[in-house]
């Protein structure tokens, strides 16, 4: 029995069977007003709902998103990072920071529940 390899993309025919709701309109509006790109598309949220943790390989191979973030925020400078933190604190939501998402123990994926990403 071989272990499946981590796919680079989710299979398009099975993705999005179950997803969480995106971030509230207020959160998205405040991020945009601060100049931060706020992506709530299902494809961006799915892609940022995983890292390279071997235990999730079967899930990702089957098109199952391990953890659905509410929004993918993409700050490009220090001021925007502060804005993301300010908005998250104001709304009482957690942030899971991501870099290359090369972690292999699930640390680059938000815990289950409503989380925001940078």
DSSP string, the chain: -PPPPPPSS--TTTTTSS------HHHHHHHHHTT-EEE--HHHHHHTT----GGGHHHHHTT--S---SEEEE--SHHHHHHHHHHHHHHT--EE--SS---SSSTTSPPSSS-EE-
pLDDT score, position 52 = 76
- Domain range for 57 is 25-108
pLDDT score, position 78 = 96
Residue 113 belongs to some domain of the structure: no
Residue 41 belongs to some domain of the structure: yes
Per-residue pLDDT of the chain (118 residues; tens, 9 = 90+): 555 566 666 666 665 556 667 788 999 999 999 999 999 888 888 888 887 778 777 887 788 887 888 889 999 999 999 999 999 999 988 888 887 666 677 777 766 555 555 5
pLDDT score, position 87 = 95
pLDDT score, position 81 = 95
Total structural domains within the chain: 1
What CATH code is carried by the domain that includes residue 79? Answer: 3.30.43.10
pTM over 0.85: no
């Amino acid at each position: 029995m071989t272990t499946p390899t981590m796919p680079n993309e989710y299979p398009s025919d099975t993705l999005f069977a179950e997803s969480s709701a995106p971030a509230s309109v207020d959160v998205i509006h405040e991020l945009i007003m601060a100049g931060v790109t706020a992506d709530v598309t299902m494809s961006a949220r799915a892609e940022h709902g995983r890292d390279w943790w071997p235990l999730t390989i079967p899930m990702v191979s089957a098109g199952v998103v391990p953890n659905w973030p509410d929004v993918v925020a993409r700050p490009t400078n220090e001021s925007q990072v502060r804005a993301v933190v300010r908005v998250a604190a104001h709304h009482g939501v957690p942030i899971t920071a991501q870099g290359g998402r090369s972690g292999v123990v699930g640390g680059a994926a938000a815990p289950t529940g409503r989380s925001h990403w940078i």
